[in-house]
Structure 1
């Protein structure tokens, strides 16, 4: 086996897994918000958008399974946690976001003269109707589209970046965001939801490595770290380029999340580039929608013992209704949920990576992290906690809870 070749192939696979339409929307909008502080915010975004997902996959090299990821807290918590993850990257936020993104980037620029509400409803019905058809018929259309769309979007991104760097679009202005710019970028990286998805896909990636005859955990780590570096370099270049280009138009009037990406495409490639980029992203959203709907339908059909078809229909109808709300509204709704869910996911990933056996550590760390995160979302005063003013009030309490868990011996 050619290890170098296998590592490169796995690296490209990891890149494709994390590279989606949503990853193109948030970096330029972050750049617009932070302006001159694009680099520090970009580092924070990179850590949550790339670092955490790779760590999520790495957590499964200890021989763990999805059923055991949070099992040391309790079996019920593990089921509840995974169900919440699937709802978040499914019908609550990620799936409706694909429909909204398709409308705002692919449909609205073409038919802007028609009433936007009516157009949005028609677009949502068509988008999720096609999604449901492909999900129920197990069509390979989305796989074929994915193989063609990713290279096309990458080429368009490269052109946007080159033209944007050679001909600056403007001068970055001071950030409109108060507080720590690094933490702002870090928390904005939650919106990619890649770390949450990595928990669900981690087992699949590790099983793929095992199918090549690589069963030793240390060797699996070697492959994952090497391929992870390849994926991280690719994603990092895209993220930092888009954040920097977004900072160049930070002095413009307020734009929606979708409008920022389209504006960059139009300013660098003209109207034709704007339309091509929007349509490609919209088509890419369809492949994502089909994949996520399949995942949701499979999970809930087994969990609730109902038919796969019924779950798929309900998921598409619910997502279609929510998609009409609009992309920015969906993003705003997702923020409080992600502020609670991400810290829990981060500590679970770390506990699994370091192969902590003590169940008390899991229970105490999760409990304290959950309490602090909920308090933050409820706008309770947590400023007395170290790092709270930087946006990370849960870190120090989680570390203290871990220490307490290590001291308390598990009863046999």
Structure 2
């Protein structure tokens, strides 16, 4: 019997779903604010942002497809089963209830409602809003088989309609040109690299590994069963989503840069979006933006809660039910959301600096794995050589109180002096490459060792 082929409509639906899963809070606020800070250097900043905000997530989708794995847990377990548990738990908690999920409701509130609430009632209003936000997200997450319909066919098209209204208005009647717009100090000399690291904040490269399980299941539900075909369809659907993301990122960054001369630089991207929307549409603009941001964040929240609950249920089958995990992660997200957006972003940065090198190397290993036949020694040595850099990157980005510890200062200074590219946040590249080549060389002269993956 011939294997079923996906239609163009199916590709678009899965691609729309994947875009909807990716495009949440940070995807809206970070490019706009980056555009304001980059000023006339916005173009190189955008290119840097696209590498980590679009290129890495697409590589993550490719890695899921090429490796023919069900998701992050299976891929990370190729290093070692214990490492598979450690990285998967840490990554899902980061893009789930500890950082990304709470950020979704907080951004929705700060952009859509905060300006109309008195200072004395901000905490209460945030609490009520975030409670209702996660209650709605839980309702949809309790039926994961319908996620492609909820996100791909309903929430995502609505979000794109609302966002398009703002984008069209901004380009038909621009506030100004990006030429001669003042450049902030951090973007004056290294706009590309600054944009590169700003793309980390979207967490999409991490999310690509986490959402793989949802995409694979959605394609299987459409009748595709062969691993090779699932891999091809995953990559094709991923291309649709990242192409749309790239266009929107560039547009939002340019809108941010064009707004500086008229509005000045805002406190953050959420405030900038609110000001831009009000400039064009007045009171209706506030409603328009509130709907746009809330839909963007809600659809991503549904995807994250679903992905987190499914992976924890898969890894720990004797623990809680899927529905219990959904409620648990929603409840934790609600509590963390109430510490405020700036605190969530500040606390997440050191964790992201730790996770990204490990995630990127795992993605690269999965993509090139057919060349070394998935030999464990290659995965293991690459990760061993990368891990110390991740730890010191974490320390370097940690709060000042931790950085002031004498031993921490000595370690950071040593790495700055002796590890190539460490000062610019890319110190993991050379050690990871050495580990990869060493592991690959050893694999050519030793018998393969099979890692048992439960």
Task: Give the TM-score of the pair, scaled to structure 1.
Answer: 0.88
Tell me, yes or no, if structure 1 residue 233 matches structure 2 residue 243. Answer: yes
Q: Describe the superposition over 1:334-373 as per-residue Cα deviations: whole angstroms up to 9, x where unpaired.
A: 1111111111111101111111423222112112222112
- The answer for the alignment partner of 2:400 in structure 1 is none
Tell me, yes or no, if structure 1 residue 64 matches structure 2 residue 69. Answer: yes
- 1:100: Cα distance to partner? 0.7
CA distance in 1, matches of 2:158, 2:230: 32
Q: Is the 8 A contact 1:57 1:206 kept in 2?
A: no
Change (3 A) 1:118 1:362: same
- The answer for the alignment partner of 2:226 in structure 1 is 215
Give the secondary structure class of the aligned counterpart of 1:286: helix
Change (3 A) 1:337 1:118: same
Q: Is the 8 A contact 1:73 1:359 kept in 2?
A: yes
- The answer for the alignment partner of 1:378 in structure 2 is 395
Q: Is the 8 A contact 2:29 2:268 kept in 1?
A: no
Q: Describe the superposition over 1:203-233 as per-residue Cα deviations: whole angstroms up to 9, x where unpaired.
A: 443454465447373x666555544443333
Name which of 115, 125, 131 aligns with 2:121.
115
CA distance in 1, matches of 2:136, 2:207: 23
Q: Describe the superposition over 1:368-405 as per-residue Cα deviations: whole angstroms up to 9, x where unpaired.
A: 22211221231213333322343311111211121222
Unaligned stretches of 5+ in structure 1? Answer: none
- The answer for the alignment partner of 1:338 in structure 2 is 352
Change (3 A) 1:194 1:10: same
Name which of 252, 257, 279 aligns with 1:267.
279
Name which of 180, 189, 208 aligns with 1:198.
208
Tell me, yes or no, if structure 1 residue 85 matches structure 2 residue 91. Answer: yes
Q: Describe the superposition over 1:119-164 as per-residue Cα deviations: whole angstroms up to 9, x where unpaired.
A: 2233233333444455558897995577444333323322322332
- The answer for the alignment partner of 2:182 in structure 1 is 173
Name which of 42, 49, 73 aligns with 2:53.
49
CA distance in 1, matches of 2:150, 2:13: 18
Moved more, 142-151 or 124-133: 142-151
Change (3 A) 1:395 1:2: closer
CA distance in 2, matches of 1:64, 1:114: 50
Mapping for residues 12-411 of structure 1, pairs under 5 Å: 12-61=16-65, 62-66=67-71, 67-112=73-118, 115-132=121-138, 135=141, 144=150, 147-170=153-176, 171=178, 172-177=181-186, 180-206=190-216, 208-209=218-219, 212-213=223-224, 215=226, 217=228, 223-250=233-260, 252-301=264-313, 303=316, 305-355=319-369, 356=372, 357-379=374-396, 380-381=412-413, 382-384=415-417, 385-409=419-443, 410=446
Change (3 A) 1:329 1:142: farther
CA distance in 1, matches of 2:135, 2:236: 40
Give the secondary structure class of the aligned counterpart of 1:177: helix
Change (3 A) 1:358 1:291: closer
Unaligned stretches of 5+ in structure 2? Answer: 397-411, 449-454
Q: How many residues align?
A: 411
- The answer for the alignment partner of 2:403 in structure 1 is none
Q: Is the 8 A contact 1:30 1:243 kept in 2?
A: yes
Q: Describe the superposition over 1:308-352 as per-residue Cα deviations: whole angstroms up to 9, x where unpaired.
A: 455444433322221111112211211111111111111101111
Q: Is the 8 A contact 2:24 2:299 kept in 1?
A: no
Give the secondary structure class of the aligned counterpart of 1:69: helix
Q: Is the 8 A contact 1:91 1:318 kept in 2?
A: yes
- CA RMSD, Structure 1 to Structure 2 (Å): 3.0
Change (3 A) 1:164 1:323: same
Q: Is the 8 A contact 1:146 1:284 kept in 2?
A: no
